[in-house]
Homo-oligomer: A and B are copies of this chain.
Amino acid sequence: MSESAFGIRPGEVATELPPGYDAGVYFIGRIRTPWKRREECPKNARESDAACTIEVDERFARALAGIETCSHLLVLYWMDKSRRDLVLQVPRNRSGTRGTFALRSPARPNPIAASVVRLVRVNGRQLSVVGLDCLDGTPLVDLKPYFASTDAVPEAVVGWHAERDQPA
């Protein structure tokens, strides 16, 4: 009941958010996916090979020049359905309480997700990509070329997540 009433589970802790924002974000497009409700979303992006479509707004269309030469992109998007004040969380699918910055949970002070996607095709200002797990209609915040030289660290370890190496 406390969960449905306040969106917070036993063991979770909220902080007081700052009185105002420090900067502003433009939504520069939308992400189209097959998933209309959170329960339908794959638990993480590697669970699905569904092609999703990133649609960039007309005013930013020219900023896509050259992106078709990239095999992979880093996509930043805004998870606008999440509360922002949780500092300790109890992931639904795992035991234990962890700090927000040790989790990939959408509930965080700035609900910006970062996902690596494979770029399949560019068609005007629509990009077909594989590797997203977000809700249909999610606002797009940024697209970046993925550089293996600086972005790929295959040996990285998340110690608390020993049993299984999938984001929670």
Contact = CB atoms under 8 A, between A and B. Distances in A.
Interface of A: 13, 15-18, 20-28, 44-46, 56, 59-74, 76, 78, 80, 84, 86-88, 97-104, 108-110, 112, 114-116, 118, 139, 141-161, 165-167
- Copy total for this chain: 2
Contacts of A61: 87
Contact of A70 (B88, B158, B165): B158
A88 B65 contact: yes
21 contacts: A16-B59, A17-B26, A22-B25, A23-B24, A23-B25, A24-B24, A26-B84, A62-B99, A63-B99, A63-B101, A64-B99, A65-B97, A65-B102, A70-B157, A71-B155, A74-B114, A76-B110, A101-B142, A112-B141, A146-B158, A148-B155
